[in-house]
Amino acid sequence: MLLTSVIIVLREFLEAAMLVSILLALSTVLDISRRWVGWSLTFGMAGALVYSFGAAAISDWFDGVGQEVISAALQFLVYLLLFSFVLLLRVSGDRRLPEKLIMLIMAATVSLAITREGFEVLVYILGFVNVLPQFVTILMGAAIGASIGISIGVLIYYFVCSLSYRQSLGLGISLLALVAAGMLSQAVLLLIQADWLPSQLPVWDSSGWLSEGSVTGQLMYALVGYEATPTALQASVYFGGLLLLLIVAVLAVRSRRESL
Amino acid sequence: MNVASVQAGKPVVEIEIRDHLFWPSEIIVPANTKVKLMIYNRDPTSEEFESYELNREKVILGNRKAIIFIGPLLPGEYPFFGEFHPETAQGKVIVE
């Protein structure tokens, strides 16, 4: 039970921590105020509370696939927000960045991500609220899982920040593009699960090489959206979304070479 | 054969969650066919249906039901589990 709660909370925290740490590192590199973090944590947790209290109603929407549709919409929005952030870097060129707008985009991105990840953690933990001994164990597991997730986020933050300006910017945006493409592929998968998009047989099966259930598989899932058995649709949306973001990112990093 | 009924060409399979166990824990579905899983959670606590092999993940609140579409699948065995109670909630989809 302790281990289960560590794993569940870690899985959800890892994805959110990854996003927060990359955006925080980019804020530091681009000299943008990091005040958005506090706001996004508050809004994200409020969002997760609203989502979990409305979960029963939401699940019934769209003939019983409301959870998938809402979750996919949140993921898709996160991709769009991250794309608009990289696009802003590109159009700003060497000029001063629109700091307020970027802070707003970062806050919105993280709020949406925490709403989605926080929902699952809340539903899980609240399920044990009436069973006191189990509840305590689960809270302990949740604390351990959250700490590991946050630690990995801190490591990523310091690693990205430790490089030179251009390397930090390049690595930060590349990691962001991978996370964003992963979100897009998850959104497609959810819509396939809801039968809104056509399902197909997988285009490849790499589960023998790297299982999604393994520790490395979970880490790769959170970091680059790894799927062992994706369908053609999912894979093309993933690589299409990644390529699009990377092209804008390369242009953005080039145009900011002289700044600072 | 676990395929309970056929609606608009899509086979429907019903599964219940009771005392953190799947009933039945093994279901048989036809290959290369999309199947609608109706999962009834009879426990008061929430469960998350999860399967890496099926690429599926869905929270099912206590005393509620959920719909999950799976397939088309190649013949083989596809394990699934309840992420909130993996010690007991285990099952598999057998595709023939």
Residues 6+ apart with CB under 8 A from B63: B41, B42, B43, B44
> CA of B56: which chain A residue's CA is closest?
A193
pLDDT of amino acid A22: 97
- Give the type of residue at A235: A
Rounded to the nearest angstrom, the minimum Cα separation between A7 and chain B is 9
- From the list A8, A56, A230, which residue is nearest B64 (CB)? A56
- B55 → closest Cβ in A68, A120, A227: A227
Candidates A123, A156, A134, A111; CA nearest to A9 is: A123
In this prediction, residue A260 has a pLDDT band, given cuts at 50, 70 and 90, of very low
Q: Look at residue B52 in the predicted model and tell me its pLDDT.
A: 92
Which DSSP state fits B32?
T
Cβ A123–B46 below 8 Å, yes or no?
yes
Tens-digit pLDDT profile for residues A209-225: 999 888 899 888 888 88
What are the chain A neighbours of B73 within 8 Å (beta carbons)?
Answer: 201
A127 contacts B84? CB cut-off 8 A: yes
B63 in the Ramachandran plot: left (φ > 0), alpha (ψ -120 to 50) or beta?
A: left
Contacts of A251 (CB under 8 A, 6+ apart): A90
pLDDT of residue A219: 85
| Span A148-198, pLDDT tens digits | 999 999 999 999 999 999 899 999 999 999 999 999 999 999 999 999 999
Residues linked to residue A79 through DSSP beta bridges, in sequence order: none
Distances (CA, A) of A185 to A52, A189, A225, B52, B72: 24, 6, 7, 15, 19
* pLDDT single digits (tens) A111-137: 999 999 999 999 999 888 888 888 999
- Complex prediction ipTM: 0.88
**pLDDT tens readout for residues A61-85:** 999 999 999 999 999 999 999 999 9
Say if the Cβ atoms of B45 and A55 lie within 8 Å: no
**Residue B8 has what pLDDT?**
55
Please report how many Cα atoms fall inside a 13 Å half-sphere around the Cα of residue A4, on the Cβ side: 18
Residues of A in contact with B52 (CB under 8 A): 207, 211-213, 228
The pTM is what?
0.92
Are B57 and B84 a contacting pair, CB within 8 Å?
Answer: no
Question: Between chains, do A124 and B65 touch, taking CB under 8 Å as contact?
Answer: no
At A200 the pLDDT is 87
